[in-house]
Amino acid sequence: MTKLDEILADFEYIDDWEERYRYLIELGRSLEPLPAEAHNDVNKVRGCASQVWLETKPAIVGGQLVLTFTGDSDAHIVRGLVALVIAMFSGHTPEAIIATDPEATFDKLGLHEHLTPQRSNGVKSMILRIKADAQHALAASGG
């Protein structure tokens, strides 16, 4: 079971949105710490009301280019949303990242109905950034 599958299963089990918010906060706490030097302008995600940083690391795994993401935020719930987005995209090829439509996952989790418009825009900004990094990695690899 992938980390994303675990998150989806846990969300199904939790009915109350206050509990789901607490779960998102716990997800954020479980994020691998982002090194202090990675909290920089290059990694900063534009379009988020909270401070959000995403670091993209390309690697060759099994002969394929894959991207791994680490991230952080200065807001607890947003940090949980960063963890959710990382679970969705990290460890995949640029092609798979570009082809992934996160809307079905967000619908399944009920995020659209329970996030403020500001937070929803921030999540969109994170996804746009990840997809742009995937496009850049693909172009740099000659794909």
The CATH architecture annotation of domain 3-140 reads Alpha-Beta Complex (3.90)
- pTM for the complete prediction? 0.93
What are 44-59's pLDDT values in tens digits?
999 878 999 999 999 9
Contacts of residue 108, Cβ cutoff 8 Å, sequence gap at least 6: 8, 11
Integer-rounded Cα Rg, in Å, for the chain is: 15
The answer to whether residue 48 is catalytic is: yes
As to burial, measured by CB atoms within 10 angstroms (0-12 exposed, 13-18 middle, 19+ buried), residue 48 is buried
CB distance 79 to 33 below 8 Å = no
Q: Which of 45, 48, 75, 137 is catalytic?
A: 48
2-41 confidence digits (pLDDT tens): 689 999 999 999 989 999 999 999 999 999 889 999 999 9
Task: Kindly report, residue by residue over 73-86, the tens digit of the pLDDT.
Answer: 999 999 999 999 99
The token pair that represents 100 in the structure block: 């992934």
